[in-house]
Chains A and B, each alone.
Chain A
Amino acid sequence: MPTKPAGTLYRGREGMWSWVGHRITGVVIFFFLLVHVLDTSLVRVSPEAYTAVIGAYKNPLMALGETGLVAAIVFHAFNGLRIIAVDFWKKGAKYQRQMLWTVLGLWVVVMAGFAIRHLSLALGGH
């Protein structure tokens, strides 16, 4: 009867969940990138077509979506730097858990700043 496997560097806990988060945010960002190149390409159709479609990004619901997208990008960016540190820094694997909590702390700070600025601009009267 196999016993329940003990936590390892990559199974369970911070190591695995950061990997799951990195995959999910990566896929989300990739599909947005495809759409974003297509909507920007409308500048070659006509000025009005571009401005009309970009106008679709400027409503309260999309403002929340944009904040969620930036949250995914900032997590993927900071956790990516953590992965590089795990791979290239001699003590990276040893401190991978502390680095994840640093990533999450920085993520909260950056996202608080971004959300306040972007939502007040996007939801403010214009």
Chain B
Amino acid sequence: MTATIQPPRSGRPSSGQPGSGRIQPKYRRNGSSKGNFEMFAWLFMRLSGVVLVVLIFGHLAVNLLVGEGIHAIDFGFVAGKWADPFWQVWDLAMLWLAMLHGTNGVRTIINDYAERDATRLWLKVVLYAATTVIIILGTLVIFTFDPCPVANGVQLPGGFCPAP
């Protein structure tokens, strides 16, 4: 079976130059309202994806496969890692890239499956609120981490405090 594809009837006649009026403005993907946002989102998924493969595989290997694995993870393990700026930067990059990558993925899924305008809007409001809270919380935790926490002048048990 063969099918013949009809030439487009709505486009203006070609003037010979690419992009010069062959596509009606309303069908252009880079309409003035959204700019190139969707293109940058598409590109960001690919760039952040490559970096996340390295960051997350490293995270899993160091936390689960080395030494005694998951049994080694406790407050002291986290304190030991975040005493080193290398792991602070690693975890910060992982937090931001993974959250933005995941948020954009869920945004795409909401756009695909939520058909009512109001449903889409509210699902995305909830999504962006959760993303904002998690990114700010995680960033604060990494940078305000205290290996020797004190409550009411008393050192909390389990902390790593300098000898008096």
**Chain A residues near B (Cβ < 8 Å):** 23, 26-27, 29-30, 33-34, 37-38, 40-41, 43-44, 46-48, 50-51, 54, 57-58, 63, 66, 70, 73, 77, 80-81, 83-84, 87-88, 114, 117-118, 121-122, 126
Given A26-B105, A73-B60, is A51 in contact with B69 using a C-beta cutoff of 8 Å? Answer: no
Question: Is B71 touching A58 in the complex (CB atoms < 8 A)?
Answer: yes
Contacts of A58 in B (CB 8 A): 70-71
Q: Is B159 an interface residue (CB 8 A)?
A: yes
* Band of interface residues on B: 35 or more
Contacts beyond the supplied A73-B56, A77-B56: 19 A-B pairs with Cβ under 8 Å: A27-B106, A33-B98, A33-B134, A37-B138, A40-B138, A41-B138, A43-B78, A44-B145, A44-B146, A46-B151, A46-B158, A47-B149, A50-B78, A51-B74, A57-B73, A58-B70, A81-B53, A84-B49, A122-B71
**Chain B residues near A (Cβ < 8 Å):** 46, 49-50, 52-53, 56-57, 60, 64-65, 68-71, 73-76, 78-79, 95, 98-99, 102-103, 105-106, 109, 130, 134, 137-138, 140-141, 144-146, 149, 151, 156-159
For this complex, 11 residue pairs linking A to B, each with C-beta atoms less than 8 Å apart, are A23-B105, A26-B102, A27-B106, A33-B99, A41-B137, A44-B144, A47-B76, A47-B156, A47-B157, A81-B53, A126-B71
Whole-angstrom distance between the alpha carbons of A81 and B52 in the complex?
Answer: 11
**Chain B residue nearest in CB terms to A55:** B74
The total of interchain contacts (Cβ-Cβ below 8 angstroms) comes to 113
B interface secondary structure, majority: helix
Whole-angstrom distance between the alpha carbons of A41 and B79 in the complex?
Answer: 12
Given A30-B106, A48-B158, is A121 in contact with B69 using a C-beta cutoff of 8 Å? Answer: yes
Whole-angstrom distance between the alpha carbons of A40 and B134 in the complex?
Answer: 11
Contacts of A70 in B (CB 8 A): 60, 64
